[in-house]
Every structure is written in structure tokens, then in C-alpha cells.
Amino acid sequence: MKITFPHMGNTYIAAKAFFEGLGMDVVIPKPCNKSTLEIGTKCSPESACLPLKVNLGNYLDCIERGADTVILSGSCGPCRFGYYGIVQKEILKDMGYDIDFIIIDPLQDSLKRFLQPIKKLFTGHSLAKIYKVGRAAFQVVKEIDELEYMTFKIRPREKRKYETDTVYADFKREVLKVTGPYEILDVIRKYKQKLLSIDIHRGLNPLKIGIVGEIYTIIEPYVNLNVEQKLGNMGVEVDRSLSISRWIDDNVTRRFFRPGHRENEVERAAKPYIPLCVGGHGRECVGHTLLYSRKGYDGIIQILPFGCMPEIVAESVLPTIRKDTGIPIMTLVVDELTGETGYNTRLEAFVDMILRKKERSKSKCTVDI
Amino acid sequence: MYSGYLGVDVGSVSINLIVMDDDNQVIEKLYLRTEGKPILMLKHGLNLLHKRLPAGFKILSVGVTGSGRNLASLMLGADVVKNEITAHGVAAITFVPDVKTVLEIGGQDSKIIIIRDGVIVDFAMNTVCAAGTGSFLDRQASRLNVPIEEFGIKALKSTTPVRIAGRCAVFAESDMIHKQQLGYNEEDIINGLCEALVRNFINNLGKGKEIIEPIVFQGGVAANVGIKRAFEKLLEKEIYIPKNFDVMGAIGVAILAKEHYEKTGHTSFKGFDVADINYKTKSFECGGCENICEVVQFIADDKVVARWGDRCGKWSNMSKDGVEAKEGEKKAMA
């Protein structure tokens, strides 16, 4: 069994840690690039959402290098993602590839149904070992998110431009050279130190923008055209509302270990606008927008793939939130476009608008005083 | 009047150059078609402008905007490089101080800008689709064999409303052909197209926005009286079109350039002679990692002035040594 999985931000590092820790054979897809998109688009239905196409691009790259099993998380929310595994398997079958799909659904009502599909994966490994490696891999997920979120804070404050980008690129190269969760953790920690030693403007108080929207598009940098990096290099501190570690916390830990604890802070915040699950992360998008505005963020950017139903529901609620809270919100729709000019213009215009507004209210204040 | 400010808007369809005096009055204005050759057309425009201006005219500072602003900035040595939203907003505020809404339709982009108390508070731009833009009209005009300049006048002659689907340019086209086949007259169909575009604009960009008067309509498409009337009909509000509606972006950055000059008294403008420099761009795929970025090198007389397009910053950050990356170096950097 040779395992592969689709890309989604830095998830591949944690997956690599886990499967290598168990001594399994893993094929890591190449970072998403033009050819991933091209291959994926060619074999997908035209009207399918963008993540499905990029995923297929990832699989085909790995199948060429011998992968025969795809691991994918499932979803029980009413969103097309819930059918990805099944549809992708069929598409690959039509293309002549007999690929095994192991779909890990979030734990819902029955433990048996949760464990059934993954049993195959773990045959021959002791529970104790799975637990031990699983914990280490979860630590990797957490620390890698920490490292990425550090870049969000350091990038707008760095004294030498692009230093953060350079360190981060070096990290990505080096982490692929080591094996297993413990070696990976060492690399992550080493690069956290390197990031901390970047010379920064300490007193600086940059604009703060929160990124909300569909989980895959906001986490996978190729698909969102590196929005965090772009904003960071414009001098904006960003925060991304969803990350893999938060997702695991919500969908595995919370359901598995604290089943009684259902509603969280985000869902509570969203309640006056969207009181129930509308699929995907529609409700979370609204909840996070409100939380960011309460925390004093200067603006919100929502990103979604073209045609994403849950995010369209959220998008239609956002103008009301803008009216109620006064926080500027911009929605960006991504599709197969790779021309970045229009995208950059919108980001620049949004940042510029917030800056000018701030300047104006500052000068007004001094007049009032 | 021997000095002024230069504003340049390098858009996808047109390149606009304006020179403005201290009182924000336009002294010279040029509207050229980009024709997919921004560098060449900008040089051509600079030459033309230089000839038109009185001898010894001094440019105090320069602002650039439009999707080709970075290219233009490198060529001219611009003092201000601004996105189109800010540029259009600033121009509208200057000429209509109490403006509340700006509608702008250009070749590939359309925008709505919401202004309150002289500050941009919200905006929207068309997303993945070009149905609500000038190119939609261009396409349909050529299909009907009507010159785009006469499009609006014909629409005004319409007597019977004909509804045409406007959600998507492809739907609009087939709907239009069907209506032609049924024998509707040309004026009514053209008017139907104008209304379809306006409906699309308001539905997509105006979603959830308060469109309050005074409303200023600018951008190349504002020349089309049919569109103006369609906006007035749909919004039931008056639409104001400024005198220099087609070059408002360039005027906006010229105003920002003026502010820059008043603050600093300095310009990095390279002079009109830049029109004689041989500019070119060369791109290559970086093989440094699996991202395979398309890196663009901007070359002025065989010297690399800037590089961009890389994700990790190693090319854009590289010391501007003026040397073009050779094939071997690209590999060595990897």
C-alpha cells in the first residue's frame, strides 16, 4: 500500500509525520502549481468546485509515482465536499486507475462506522503505537500552524523586506528532507527560532485583517494566490480564521472527547445571523467575522471558490454585518484564474481604503480635542 | 503656466495621459488604445504629449494607476503608484465634493465606489466575469455591426422595451440572436442590451450597497448615453457625468501626485526622454522549487531594472545589479 493525500496548506507535513511514524509508504504530491491545475481541470466536470479539480491534479501526480491509496477526510455537512471522495474515485476509475480511497468521516453517531473504513489502514499496528504516533503528529500540526501564524505577525514588521519569506521557503525545503514526527518537530522548532531572530520594528502597529471563508481556499496558498504573504508584504498583519489544528480540535477532539460540548464561541457569535449549520463553513465565516470585529480588527476578507454554496449564503449576510458593526468587508472569488493583477488591485484598494479612513478619523480626532 | 502634474492610467483597453495645473484643470489629455502593447503605447503617448506641451514645460510630479501601473512606474519614475479604486474615488471627490456613489465601467473592470463625507468607505469590483463591463458592449456591438460610438444614440431611439438576459454574456448573445430572428428592431435590441448590462452591474456590484445621490458615472463606457439612461431608469435617480469622464483615473493620480509634490517638493520623474529608452520584458520559469514561478524581468537598455512574479521573493529581492539572469544563473540560484 502506497499512500497519498491531497494538498491543503502545510497539512502534508503532518501527514508525512504520521504515516512515516507508522512506517508506511507515502507519496507526497508536488506543491500545487500550474500543471496541477491544468491536469485537474482536464479530468473534472466543468461545474465542479475548484478544490475537487486541484485535488485530482495532486492524485494524478502521485499515481504516476506509484501511489495506490488516497486518504481523504470526509464531511457530513451539506456541502459538495462530502461527495469528493466518491466522485474522485469514480473519475479516476473512468480514467483507468483503480485507486483505493480511505475516507475518514468525522465521528458522528456510531463509533463503529467511524472506525470501519480506517481499520484497513491500521492493520498490523498496535493501538499503543498508533496513539503515540498520532499524538506526535498532532503536535506537528499544532506547531506548524504556530510557525505559520508567526510569519503573519513578523512579515509586516520585518526590517529587511522579504526576510520572512526567505526563512519560510528554506523551512519548506528542509522539512521535506527529514523523516518521521520527531525529526520534523526539530526542524519546525529550529525555524521558529530563526523567525524570532528576524529583525523587526517593535513599536509598529500595523493594520489587522482577518481572513474568513471556505476552509480549503483560505488554507491552500496556491489557490488563494498567497493572500497572506501578499498582505503581509503590504505591511498588514493577518489572521486566518481556520487552520488544520483548529479544524481537528472542532471535528475530532471535540466530538471524540467532549461530545457534550457542542456550541462553541464562533457558533454563538453567528447565531443572530445564521442560527444553524448551512454546510461547509458558512456559519463559521459569519461567526469569525463578528469575532474579528469585536477584537478590533480593521477589516475582513472573505475568500471562496466560485460557486461555493455555503459561502454564498455567508456572503449574503456579510453586508448586514458591515452595516451593524461598521467593519469593512471584501469578498474575493477564486477560480482557475492565475492572472494576479486584478487580485492584487483589489487587495491594494482594500488596504488603501482602510488606511485612508483611519487617517481621516485620526485627523478628525485631533481637531475635536 | 509652465509647470504641472502628469497622471497616467495604463488600463487593459486604453492608456490615458493627462497633464494638470495647480487648480486641477486638465491642460492636455490623451486617450490611446492599449492594443495589448502597454510599453510601446506608453512611449508613443509620452512622445505625443511632449510635442503638444509648450517648450520648457516642467513636470512637477507623476502619478500612475491602472493594471499596468507597476510597469509604467518603472518606466517613468513615478512618485505615486495607486490602485484604480483610490484614483477614481479621489478624482470624483475633487470634482463633485459631496459625491456619495461612483459608478465606473472600463474595458475589463467595472466598479462601484461608495463615498461618505469625502472618504471611500466601501467598494466592489466585478469578480470572475466580464458580463457587466465595456468588453461585453464591444462584443455585442460588433455582432450587430454597429460602431460602438453610435451604440448609445441608437438605444435612445428605442420605443418598445425588449428584455435581454444579462446575467452572462453568452446567454445575452443567444437571447439577442433569437430576438433578432423574431424581427425586433435594432434600436430596441440595443436598448435591451444596455439595460441588461446595467441590471447585471447593479445586481452584482450594487448588492447590499446604498446607492445615494449625487451619483457620478465615469470610465470609457460613460460616453454611452444609452447606458446612462438605463442607469437612471433602473435607479430612478439622476446620474452625473463629469467633463473628463474617460480619464478620471489619470486625473485622480495626478491629484495625488500634486499632494505628494506639495508635501515633499521633489519628483523622481525621469523626464520625457524615457520614450527613447529601449524597454522590454523577458520572463522565465524559475526552477528553484516545485512552485515553478513565472519570473518577469524588466529590462531598460539591456539593464535589468526589476524582477517580479516569484513567490519566495528571492528574485524580486535580488540586488538590482542590472545584469540579466543567464540560463546558468537561474539554475545556480535553484
Q: Which segment of B4-8, B71-75, B279-283 scores lowest on mean pLDDT?
A: B279-283
Crossing angle for the helix pair B148-156 and B225-235, nearest 10 degrees? Answer: 40
A63: its cell numbers: 499515481
Residue A263 confidence class, pLDDT cut points 50, 70, 90: low
Q: Domain boundary at A152, A178, A204, which?
A: A204
- pLDDT for B327 equals 45
DSSP B169-191: HHHHHHHHHHHHHTT--HHHHHH
Residue B334 confidence class, pLDDT cut points 50, 70, 90: very low
Asked if the structure places residue A131 within a domain, the reply is no
Chain B CB contacts of A161 under 8 Å are 313, 317
Each as own residue / partner, the long-range contacts of residues B265-269 (CB below 8 Å, 24 or more positions apart, any chain) are: B266/B61, B266/B79, B267/B59, B267/B60, B267/B61, B267/B62, B267/B77, B267/B79, B268/B62, B268/B77, B268/B78, B268/B79, B269/B6, B269/B59, B269/B61, B269/B62, B269/B76, B269/B77, B269/B78, B269/B79
Residue B168 confidence class, pLDDT cut points 50, 70, 90: confident
Residue A362: pLDDT over 80: no
Top-confidence residue, A267 or A115 = A267
**Do A55 and A83 belong to one domain?**
yes
**What domains appear along chain B, each with residue ranges and CATH number?**
3-88+248-275 (3.30.420.40), 97-241 (3.30.420.40), 278-333 (no CATH)
Q: Which of A165, A229, A356 sits opposite B119 (nearest CB)?
A: A356
Chain B CB contacts of A352 under 8 Å are 82-83, 85-86
- pLDDT for B97 equals 87
Residue B267 has phi, psi (to 5 degrees) of -135, 150
**Do A70 and A95 belong to one domain?**
yes
Contact A360 B119 (CB under 8 A): yes
Asked if the structure places residue A139 within a domain, the reply is no
Contact A357 B209 (CB under 8 A): no
Asked if the structure places residue A134 within a domain, the reply is no
Q: Domain boundary at A164, A181, A204, which?
A: A204
- pLDDT for B129 equals 65
Q: What is the mean pLDDT of chain A?
A: 87
- Among all residues of chain A, which has the CA nearest to that of B67? A341
Top-confidence residue, A273 or B161 = A273
**Do A164 and A24 belong to one domain?**
no
Nearest to B239 by CA among B248, B249, B230, B247: B230
**Do A238 and A341 belong to one domain?**
yes
- pLDDT for B242 equals 92
Cα–Cα distances in angstroms (integers) from residue A97 to residues A28, A59, A94, A314, in the given order: 18, 11, 7, 38
**Do A75 and A158 belong to one domain?**
no
pLDDT tens figures, A165-195: 889 989 998 999 999 899 999 999 999 999 9
Nearest to B231 by CA among B106, B324, B105: B105
B270 touching chain A per CB within 8 A? no
Q: What is the dihedral of CA B261, B266, B268, B273, to 10 degrees?
A: 90
In sequence order, the 6+-apart residues with CB closer than 8 A to the CB of A3 are A19, A24, A25, A26, A27, A67, A69, A70, A71
Chain A, window 84-143: residues with a beta carbon less than 8 angstroms from a chain B beta carbon? none
Cα B66–B152–B197 angle (5° rounding)? 60
Residue A253: pLDDT over 70: no
Cα–Cα distances in angstroms (integers) from residue A194 to residues A163, A168, A191, A202, in the given order: 10, 9, 5, 17
Alpha-carbon distance B122 to nearest alpha carbon in chain A (angstroms): 7
Q: Which segment of A57-66, A69-78, B50-59, B109-118 scores lowest on mean pLDDT?
A: A69-78
Contact B119 A333 (CB under 8 A): no
**Do A195 and A220 belong to one domain?**
no
Contact B121 A357 (CB under 8 A): yes
Sheet holding B14-20, edge to edge: B26-33, B14-20, B3-10, B58-65, B80-81
DSSP B262-277: HHH-------GGGGGS
Sheet holding B294-300, edge to edge: B279-285, B294-300, B303-308
**Do A183 and A93 belong to one domain?**
no
Contact B316 A162 (CB under 8 A): yes
Contact B314 A226 (CB under 8 A): no
Q: Which of A335, A346, A353 sits opposite B128 (nearest CB)?
A: A335
In this prediction, residues A80-104 reach a mean pLDDT of 89
Residue A23 has phi, psi (to 5 degrees) of 75, 25
By the 8 A CB rule, do B227 and B99 touch? no
CA A160, chain centre distance (Å): 28
CA gap A14, A177 in Å, rounded: 14
Asked if the structure places residue A156 within a domain, the reply is yes
**Do A200 and A215 belong to one domain?**
no
CA gap B88, B27 in Å, rounded: 19
- What range defines the domain where residue A66 resides? 2-125
In sequence order, the 6+-apart residues with CB closer than 8 A to the CB of A245 are A138, A141, A142, A145
* Tally of structural domains, chain A: 3
**Do A151 and A13 belong to one domain?**
no
CATH of the domain at A82: 3.40.50
- pLDDT for A369 equals 35
**Do A215 and A191 belong to one domain?**
no
Q: Which of A165, A333, A353 sits opposite B127 (nearest CB)?
A: A333
Asked if the structure places residue A135 within a domain, the reply is no
Contact B125 A337 (CB under 8 A): no
**Do A315 and A337 belong to one domain?**
yes
Contact A328 B122 (CB under 8 A): yes
Percent of chain A past pLDDT 70, that is, above it, reads 92
Contact A332 B125 (CB under 8 A): no
- pLDDT for A12 equals 92
Top-confidence residue, A89 or B176 = A89
Q: Domain boundary at A70, A97, A125, which?
A: A125
Q: Which of A30, A332, A335 sits opposite B290 (nearest CB)?
A: A30
- Among all residues of chain B, which has the CA nearest to that of A32? B291
Residue A368: pLDDT over 50: no
Count of CB contacts below 8 A, A vs B? 89
pLDDT tens figures, B319-329: 555 454 544 44
Alpha-carbon distance A33 to nearest alpha carbon in chain B (angstroms): 6
Cα–Cα distances in angstroms (integers) from residue B121 to residues B80, B113, B248, in the given order: 21, 8, 19
In this prediction, residues A148-155 reach a mean pLDDT of 95
Global ipTM: 0.77
Max Cα distance, chain B (Å): 70
Burial of A311 (0-12, 13-18, 19+ CB in 10 A): buried
- Among all residues of chain B, which has the CA nearest to that of A162? B313
DSSP B245-304: GGGHHHHHHHHHHHHHHHHH-------GGGGGS-EEEEEEE--SSTT--EEEEEEETTEE
In this prediction, residues B278-292 reach a mean pLDDT of 79
Alpha-carbon distance B47 to nearest alpha carbon in chain A (angstroms): 27
Q: What is the mean pLDDT of chain B?
A: 83
B285 touching chain A per CB within 8 A? no
CA gap A186, B160 in Å, rounded: 75
Q: Specify the 3-state DSSP secondary structure of A368.
A: helix
Residue B301: pLDDT over 70: yes
CA gap A216, A295 in Å, rounded: 24
Alpha-carbon distance B21 to nearest alpha carbon in chain A (angstroms): 24
**Do A43 and A178 belong to one domain?**
no
Chain A, window 222-241: residues with a beta carbon less than 8 angstroms from a chain B beta carbon? 222, 226, 229, 233
CATH of the domain at A279: 3.40.50.11900
In this prediction, residues B311-323 reach a mean pLDDT of 64
Residue A177 is classified by DSSP as T
Residue B186: pLDDT over 50: yes
- Among all residues of chain B, which has the CA nearest to that of A307? B128
By the 8 A CB rule, do A346 and A332 touch? yes
Top-confidence residue, B316 or A207 = A207
